[in-house]
Amino acid sequence: MNLPDMHSAEAIPPEARAEIDRLLTSGDLFRYTAATDAPVSLLEAEFAEMMGTRFALAVSSCSAALFLSLKALDLPRDARVLIPGFTFAAVPSSVIHADCLPVLCEVGEDYRIDMVDFAAKLPGCRAVIVSHMRGHTSDMDAIMTLCDAAGVPVIEDAAHSLGTTWNGTKIGTIGTIGCFSFQSYKMINAGEGGIMITDDADLVAQAIIMSGAYEHNWKKHPVLQDAFAAHQNQLPLYNLRLSNLSAAVIRPQLPHLARRVVDGRRNHDHVAELLGQSPHIHVPAPLPGEVRAPDSIQFNLVDMDDAQVAAFVAEAAALGVKVQVFGASADNARAFWNWQFIPNLPDLPQTRAMLMRACDVRLPVHLPVDTLDAVASALLAAIATSEGAKAA
């Protein structure tokens, strides 16, 4: 069976077309031109309502949301910000961009923050970014207990966790601020875009101004107007706004989220069960309390040497499935040793060992079950072939 392009996206719902046509006809693409009800403002209201938070600010990317979150926390220059050693390069980049210093903590074989190392490195840090990498939720109870006791704010990088819940609570609403992405490989696809949510009026007021609500454009945000007064003309404007056109692509996808989450989880669990038959593949289980929203699968290769790992990747590619071993593919942006823009980049032996055996395969939520079976068969066949490749 020919496997589809695993980066293919679901079609944008046709309901988007009438609104895009209206925007093209009127030329009204800037979020702050209309007096009320601009598509970006409506998106913010709908997203906040969906997540059950007071405020949402739509911006140009999740990276922009992370950066604005750090700026809104008003951290001093060179403040230490604790992040996991397994995440996308956007996370340490946002810390550097905010003139802060990333502190990396170890991640376990289950891709989640190692709580012993986290607790050891938290003292001295002024903020934490919990990156739920590939939608794997770290132990938010343990993290919030430690951070609340230390008075350290938590930013959730929930770029890949839209629709995930933790003991019934939506991921992205547990920390002080939650940040999401609308980049094409996430649950909602606008090509580019991001959004941050919070219940803190003063934080969101600052983020709104810095995102580019110059002069009195902030009056178009339904936030306590008092929150803005102290910040007028006091903050730099970074212009990280979202266009109405992007909002028009995103809004009609929101009603599809629940279905995509269910389909993605069904696809993931189906493939995980098939792959789990191999003694050379381990798919880490979710944490108790975590209900995931995956659009990809991660698994660890067990009892395989480097030559066998390389043979597995090559054979899977030949059979039509692109597998990335995070630590073995060249210049992978999720391997911490490639974040050489961080001063005094540390080694993280445990995270490094995980990255050398952890595989990443996309599973777009719209794949039908026979395709999923074919993906799993190809991976299992590649494992069988790779066994012969053991280094002498």
Ligand X SMILES: *Cc1c(COP(=O)(O)O)cnc(C)c1O
Binding footprint of ligand X on the chain (CB under 6 A) = 61-63, 87-88, 90-91, 131, 133, 157, 159-160, 181, 183, 194
Write the burial class of residue 185 (CB in 10 Å: 0-12 exposed, 13-18 middle, 19+ buried).
middle
Instruction: Compare residues 248 and 311 and give the one whose CB is closer to ligand X.
Output: 248
Closest separation in Å from C-beta 96 to ligand X: 14
Instruction: Compare residues 137 and 308 and give the one whose CB is closer to ligand X.
Output: 137
Closest separation in Å from C-beta 91 to ligand X: 6
Provide the angle, in degrees to the nearest 10, between the axes of the packed helices 257-275 and 369-387. Answer: 30
Instruction: Give the position of tokens 């306590």.
Output: 224
Instruction: Compare residues 166 and 228 and give the one whose CB is closer to ligand X.
Output: 166
Closest separation in Å from C-beta 166 to ligand X: 16
Instruction: Compare residues 63 and 244 and give the one whose CB is closer to ligand X.
Output: 63
Strand pairing of 296-301 and 324-325? unpaired
Closest separation in Å from C-beta 236 to ligand X: 20
Closest separation in Å from C-beta 358 to ligand X: 15
Q: Phi/psi of residue 297, each to 5°?
A: -130, 140
Strand pairing of 281-282 and 165-166? unpaired
DSSP H or E segment with residue 119: helix 115-121
Torsion of CA 88, 94, 97, 99, to 10 degrees: -120
Closest separation in Å from C-beta 371 to ligand X: 23
How many beta carbons lie within 10 A of that of residue 375, not counting itself?
Answer: 28
Instruction: Compare residues 194 and 286 and give the one whose CB is closer to ligand X.
Output: 194
Half-sphere exposure in the Cβ direction for 233 (13 Å, CA): 0
Instruction: Compare residues 139 and 157 and give the one whose CB is closer to ligand X.
Output: 157
